[in-house]
Structure 1
């Protein structure tokens, strides 16, 4: 048994002192003052206790790309970031694009993950074929959602068939929006910064044009359609309109699109290269407004580790993607909550309650007796400087190194066991 003493928990939008008794994998009691002769005491010293955060968009790279990340290192990074449940994307080798491969991947995640690692199945073979995969079979094998993340679905008929199949099993169809015919070799957002750096740009139309197509098909099929890493003002407006018309659509935004714009790119530094790219300041303000008003339902990190040598290349040749799962809560708490842009309650709703509800995950969203003890303790007063040396992830590729942040993770529990402590 463990007894967490003197924690602060959110009740009706206010932080109040509570003790939490853990017995086995479950919370046994929550009260203002608990005493137990048998329990090992963990002194919280007034730190903020919440259920573990949930990230529906991570890349753990195993199998196939273990030099970038493994399930063990990725899940350790998740625990350090305060996450106890994540959903891993299928751009692996082999791609989990049939029931047998999904079964194998689910088992691998369970064997090697220190947090709960749920799994996506691929919409189509190899993420690129026009014929859809066996979505019903993958669903039965344990896939919680379906995506070709990293590749946009290029034909409307493929998307129609995928949405119909996902609707039949009542699981989310998650879209990486990217019309290949509109890319033209771009590596960053099309605009003044790209021109000044002499780099080819990616227009926002590559995202929003495909989104408009998909929303019409989603309305026709009734599928739960989820927009990955939304990045443009036009896309936010399209989702807002679709929701008003009853389309079953949810959306996520990544921390880097909330905090950075293409004007923050001062040179040929591939740590700022991600897909979708950092957009204009107007787009950044639009996605932030969308998160605040609920048009965008949740935050998801798109944690995308790469080898150090890969990201040391130029913008033209380096791979897209940055890490994020270890820094997301601290960055957003510091720059959105401490600054007064949003409340702590809203941030937790966007990083926990919303993803659990949208994806039908088993993660707990209440600190109450009988609930699974998936918990994280954040010291909101502790100030840190983001440093590569502290990362549990193999990937060090983030432009946020050196930033000053608050909200240090003190401890993370999964099924009642401590899986992270500094």
Structure 2
């Protein structure tokens, strides 16, 4: 990616120089027009006034005839044939004769008409020296000042540009900030740029340490957390194999065994969420209906003694899914746990389709405001209820997003809630 700060500064100076050039050129053009028409007109008019003053003192005074101005006098009553052909049709006023390369002032007085002729080439020469040349000098000054200012600005922003290039080359997972160490910074990185480099170096070092700690945790936790759970499960299996076991104790051991399996599934799900997104977890083909059936049986124990009917319906014949099975355990168990927690009486219906799992309850439901916040961590639609911490649906959504699934919730106060997980 091209770094935009130097480019923007370059474009800004180019635009500034172009606008200044246009303004100066326009000013030069106007100056040339003023010189050719305004100034020449004034000079000729003053020359005419001066001549008429001399004419009053001495009627035989000849018209002006200099290097730049040539005059013709047509006294009252004389024929205009004595005038040059180009001047004969002219009326009193100022005229520009492009064909003859002349600027002409015709001044009418009682004694006659005075024709003063000024060569356009002389006017253009004056316009060049008093209009074009100053414009060129001004443009060169503007370009020189713009170039010097651009170079100064470039030196100011070059340290920031250097920092941007270095930071853009970092790997977000393993940021290497060694080049930003104080002893390795270029000499021109001073002031605020050096402070920024120091802050980025410190931040990258902390991020690297954080990534290392997270990597070590996900590696160690997968082993250390499984070890006691394996002991619990094996001990419960051995205890359940004891003959003539008391039924009450047998039920308790069964619950311990199922809780151990659930805990292993939760640990696996948390470790998947803790890993980086580009690290694919181990996946296998499994039957979604089998997992949902297992979680439904666990949920029936939560509803023991409560007037709530829990049903399961399996629709279709293709329920295979490629994913970590324990993730599906966590998703379905959280949805069922929520349904059981917020349904005091009525029904909870679970449906397994070819591309979805639906959990529908007749519980207390949620308002639109609660439905909009239901996936926020620690949010609970009814905080007074003792069950739940408000993390279940947040975990469910994160797991669904991790594997490309989509979860939808529909709810209304007093009419229950329907949660649908789409796999397609």
Superposition TM-score, scaled by structure 1 size = 0.22
Q: Of Structure 1 and Structure 2, which has the larger fraction of its residues in strand?
A: 1
- Higher normalized contact order (CA 8 Å, seq sep 6+, divided by chain length): 1
The structure that is helix-richer by fraction is 2
